[in-house]
């Protein structure tokens, strides 16, 4: 009993942060699935979402600034795709990746310029910022909301992909651009759609993640972004269920390590896991076989 009451808060925190990583990781894995591109700017889009809420909440009530944050993040994701990736559609993959790294630094430095490098107070979102007691543990409501919301969103996304016309088009575009065009599918629109979904989920993840923190700095998103990327690789990049399961495993393990008193090593664990996965099973838990498109 003593063991449970001691470790329950860590387990809860782990499940919660795992859900937040999952929401970011889906963006990485979906874009990879369709474009075979690691969208390095995705973590920064996550940070920008936080900053949009910070600034918009100073001039309008939260019930307006939260939807605004979601919309602005989606628009940012779309603009990044149109400006930085679409013109490179027929370029070698390496060029697109370098473009993604460029966008990442651009967003980071833009955030640095706008915030002046100072920590910005993150607004307390009512209800989910309140504390509750679960057994012996005291935590914020967001800890409980996150995994539930994550599972609901992932379920909705899987329904969209597997049982709708647009989902079918997304799967066929992921298979083969040219043949998809022959079916009359507007490939660029489908690609935009994946950026819309990825950015939207990153914005939701951002709202949940930063509720646990008092403030945001321009690099706040870098670490969760990177860990979500590790989660996507761990689960098998390209696979949505893989990314979600990978994210939960990483979130829980990290926090259990903290609970054991090795907080210093919790980040190291995540990246050590990345190295081990890349050596032992490079395709991840649910990754596609490494057959290249022919």
Q: Under the rule (CB under 8 A), what is the footprint of another protein?
A: 165, 168-169, 171-172, 174-176, 178-179, 181-186
Least distance between another protein and beta carbon 289 (Å): 11
The H or E element that residue 13 is part of is helix 2-35
Least distance between another protein and beta carbon 81 (Å): 19
* Residue placing its CB nearer to another protein in the complex, 79 or 176: 176
CB 85 within 8 A of CB 110: no
CB 17 within 8 A of CB 213: no
Least distance between another protein and beta carbon 178 (Å): 6
* Residue placing its CB nearer to another protein in the complex, 133 or 163: 163
* Residue placing its CB nearer to another protein in the complex, 6 or 186: 186
Kindly state the tokens that stand for 57: 């909440």
CA-to-CA distance for 228 and 42, rounded, in angstroms? 10
* Residue placing its CB nearer to another protein in the complex, 183 or 268: 183
Least distance between another protein and beta carbon 174 (Å): 8
CB 32 within 8 A of CB 99: no
Least distance between another protein and beta carbon 169 (Å): 7
The residue among 165, 214, 212 whose CA lies nearest residue 20 is 212
Handedness of CA 44, 45, 46, 47 (dihedral sign): positive
* Residue placing its CB nearer to another protein in the complex, 92 or 184: 184
CA-to-CA distance for 203 and 14, rounded, in angstroms? 20
CB 66 within 8 A of CB 210: no
* Residue placing its CB nearer to another protein in the complex, 156 or 183: 183
Least distance between another protein and beta carbon 183 (Å): 5
CB 101 within 8 A of CB 212: no
């Amino acid at each position: 009993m003593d063991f449970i009451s001691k470790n329950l808060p860590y387990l809860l925190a782990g499940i919660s942060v795992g859900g937040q990583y999952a929401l970011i990781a889906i963006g990485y894995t979906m874009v990879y699935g369709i474009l075979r591109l690691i969208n390095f700017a995705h973590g920064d889009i996550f940070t920008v979402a936080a900053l949009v809420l910070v600034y918009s909440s100073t001039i309008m009530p939260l019930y307006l600034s939260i939807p605004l944050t979601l919309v602005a993040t989606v628009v940012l994701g779309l603009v990044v795709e149109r400006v930085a990736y679409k013109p490179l559609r027929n370029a070698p993959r390496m060029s697109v990746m370098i473009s993604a790294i460029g966008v990442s630094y651009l967003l980071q430095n833009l955030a640095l310029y706008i915030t002046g490098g100072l920590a910005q107070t993150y607004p307390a979102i009512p209800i989910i910022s309140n504390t509750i007691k679960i057994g012996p543990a005291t935590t914020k409501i967001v800890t409980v909301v996150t995994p539930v919301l994550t599972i609901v969103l992932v379920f909705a996304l899987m329904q969209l992909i597997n049982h709708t016309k647009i989902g079918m088009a997304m799967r066929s575009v992921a298979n083969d651009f040219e043949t998809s065009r022959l079916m009359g599918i507007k490939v660029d629109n489908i690609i935009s759609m994946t950026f819309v979904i990825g950015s939207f989920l990153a914005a939701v993840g951002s709202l949940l993640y930063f509720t646990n923190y008092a403030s945001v700095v321009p690099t706040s998103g870098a670490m969760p972004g990177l860990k979500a990327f590790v989660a996507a690789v761990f689960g098998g990049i390209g696979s949505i269920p893989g990314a979600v399961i990978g994210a939960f495993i990483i979130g829980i393990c990290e926090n259990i390590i903290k609970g054991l008193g090795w907080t210093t090593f919790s980040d190291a664990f995540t990246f050590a896991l990345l190295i081990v996965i890349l050596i032992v099973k490079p395709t991840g838990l649910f990754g596609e076989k490494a057959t290249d498109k022919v």
